[in-house]
A = this chain, B = another copy of it.
Amino acid sequence: MIEHMMDRQLMISSLIEHAAQTYSDQEVVSRTCEGTIHRYGYAEALSRIKRLANMLKDYGVGEGDRVATVAWNTHRHFELYYAVSSIGAICHTINPRLGPQQVGYVLNHAEDKLVFFDITFTPLLAALREHAPTVERYIVMTDAAHAPADFPGGALVYEDELAARSDSFEWPIFDERTACGLCYTSGTTGDPKGVVYTHRSTVLMAYAGNSPEYVGLSSRDCVLPVVPMFHVNAWGVPYSAPMCGAKLVFPGPGMDGASLHEMMDKEKVTISLGVPTVWLNLLAYLEQSGARLDHMKMTLVGGAALSEQILRAFEEKYDVRVAQGWGMTEMSPLGTVNRPPAEREDLDDPAVLARRLKQGRCVPGVEMRIVSEAGKVLPWDGQSVGHLQVRGPWITGAYFRHPGDTLTADGWFDTGDVANIDPDGFMQITDRSKDVIKSGGEWISTIDIENAAMSHPDVAHAAVIAAQHPKWQERPLLLVVRRKGADPMAEDVRLFVKERVSRLAEPDAVEFIDEMPLGATGKVLKTELRKMFADYLLSA
């Protein structure tokens, strides 16, 4: 084939080079782990990234080597993203919330060569050191004054290392399909699996999300990713912001409402991205303090479903538009976005509210389909519910060092969700595939029942699992944790829920439990509930 167009590879290094040249003074502002505020322009960021690249080379990091980070969202973590990937190595972002055992597992599975960590995580890494034989060096991401004195075996000091090196570095050009990043999923069962990002997948997703139909940044924006850089690359913001010259604000370890609000207010943040829990904290802070969000135009909520409460609070009380995003670690993660329309809508209109709470429309490049149990592709009619499967250039084809098939026989990735898609392309997740209740050929979403139960004043927590039924194979069993001091009757709760869900979804029985079993990331462990109620039988 004759190459009529220039054969230029999509390289992560090109994003920061573009920002440093074109938006040299646009600011990157960070709250550091030392408690200070750090700020510089993209040109200075690039200069430090090149020092870091020289350091990595000096310590023998070669193409394909893994370099781990255990760090908050700061300028130093940002520098690592670019330096590690741009020399052809793989930036392995570790989620410190996984706990010592899983962090140890992923360090060893990835065979990380270097580990960079924030001072916050010194105890975690010190404890793991003897269990991570592949790690040659630890580098603490601070200056000499703040470095821990007693790290076992010693740790290099980030700022000293950078100061000792040249800021001149020529980026190599290589195949855009080369791995640039690694992020392990925290599955509820089995060992974590490593998702490998490539230069191509990363640059393409940054391009695709940048339409105002989806996230849509520009140099007129100031963006604050609350979503951690150890959680699917902070949803790509460290790439999409430099691409379009947006000002970038990193919250560091200050994830509480007051700290976030301070950064949003002082730095005039216009768009911020995070999970519902973070927004609930911020909203609680605003409520208590009476503070406002004077500059914010939009929040993007992802990681878990957007609730009516968060939507209404931002839009009705604080005049901030709310977008919902959906994706997965395996999707880099951008799959769909439900971007608010230009004009304000009446959230009291049930049709409007229902649409706003859906997961949204596909970002171009991502294809989706819903498939029945029998493998039939279902229509986009807003009614049919099926297994949600996706395809696209930034969706995982194979996990890191993981044998076995990742995709369906015809090349799609099964998300593990069940969903419907309406004729306007809005997708709505109705349940996890493994949680859905199969009742006489029909599928029942557990989420609706749980939401209904949790709106009962005496219910602290609720979860629905399938119980065996002699006629319908499976029927919903509602498990409830009572609110402290309350003592509702099971039948009262059942009747309360019955009024709020479809006839098919009415729970057959309600049982009380003392405590809800939760996983590391706060999700209900339905596997545990199923074990507890394995022998539970409903009557016809």
Binding site for B on A (CB under 8 A): 1-8, 10, 14-15, 17-18, 21-25, 175, 177-179, 195-198, 200-201, 204, 207-208, 210-213, 216-220, 243-245, 339, 341-342, 361-362, 364-365, 367, 380, 391-400, 407, 411, 413, 423-425
B residues in contact with A200, CB < 8 Å:
5
Residue of A2, A175, A380 with most chain B CB atoms under a 10 A cut-off: A2
Beyond A4-B397, A6-B407, A8-B392, list 6 extra A-B contacts (CB 8 Å): A5-B396, A21-B362, A21-B380, A204-B207, A213-B244, A244-B364
Are A1 and B177 also in contact (CB < 8 A) when A10-B393, A218-B339 are? Answer: yes
30 residue pairs of the A-B complex, CB under 8 angstroms, read: A4-B197, A4-B198, A5-B196, A5-B197, A5-B200, A6-B392, A6-B395, A6-B397, A6-B407, A7-B393, A7-B397, A8-B365, A14-B364, A14-B367, A17-B367, A18-B362, A18-B364, A18-B367, A21-B425, A25-B424, A207-B364, A211-B218, A211-B244, A212-B212, A212-B220, A213-B219, A213-B220, A218-B339, A243-B364, A244-B364
Q: Are B396 and A6 in contact (CB under 8 A)?
A: yes
Q: Are B220 and A211 in contact (CB under 8 A)?
A: no
Q: Cα distance A175–B1 when bound, in Å?
A: 10
B residues in contact with A211, CB < 8 Å:
210-212, 216-218, 243-244
Are A398 and B3 also in contact (CB < 8 A) when A8-B392, A21-B380 are? Answer: yes
B residues in contact with A5, CB < 8 Å:
177, 196-198, 200-201, 393-397
Q: Cα distance A204–B398 when bound, in Å?
A: 25
Q: What is the minimal beta-carbon distance from A17 to any residue of chain B, in angstroms?
A: 8
Interface of A is mostly: loop
Q: What is the minimal beta-carbon distance from A439 to any residue of chain B, in angstroms?
A: 30
Q: Cα distance A245–B210 when bound, in Å?
A: 14
Q: What is the minimal beta-carbon distance from A86 to any residue of chain B, in angstroms?
A: 15
Q: Cα distance A211–B241 when bound, in Å?
A: 11
Q: Cα distance A291–B203 when bound, in Å?
A: 44
Q: Cα distance A7–B201 when bound, in Å?
A: 10
B residues in contact with A1, CB < 8 Å:
175, 177-178
Are A6 and B391 also in contact (CB < 8 A) when A15-B364, A220-B342, A380-B21 are? Answer: yes
B residues in contact with A244, CB < 8 Å:
211-213, 364
Contact of A396 among B4, B23, B204, B367 (CB under 8 A): B4
Q: What is the minimal beta-carbon distance from A279 to any residue of chain B, in angstroms?
A: 24
Q: What is the minimal beta-carbon distance from A196 to any residue of chain B, in angstroms?
A: 4
Q: What is the minimal beta-carbon distance from A179 to any residue of chain B, in angstroms?
A: 6
Contact of A220 among B245, B341, B400 (CB under 8 A): B341
Q: What is the minimal beta-carbon distance from A176 to any residue of chain B, in angstroms?
A: 10
Q: Are B197 and A23 in contact (CB under 8 A)?
A: no
Q: Cα distance A217–B243 when bound, in Å?
A: 17
Q: Cα distance A103–B10 when bound, in Å?
A: 36
A7 nearest CB neighbor, chain B only? B397
Q: Are A245 and B213 in contact (CB under 8 A)?
A: yes
Residue of A4, A17, A21, A394 with most chain B CB atoms under a 10 A cut-off: A4
Q: Cα distance A21–B425 when bound, in Å?
A: 7
Are A218 and B213 also in contact (CB < 8 A) when A196-B4, A392-B8 are? Answer: yes
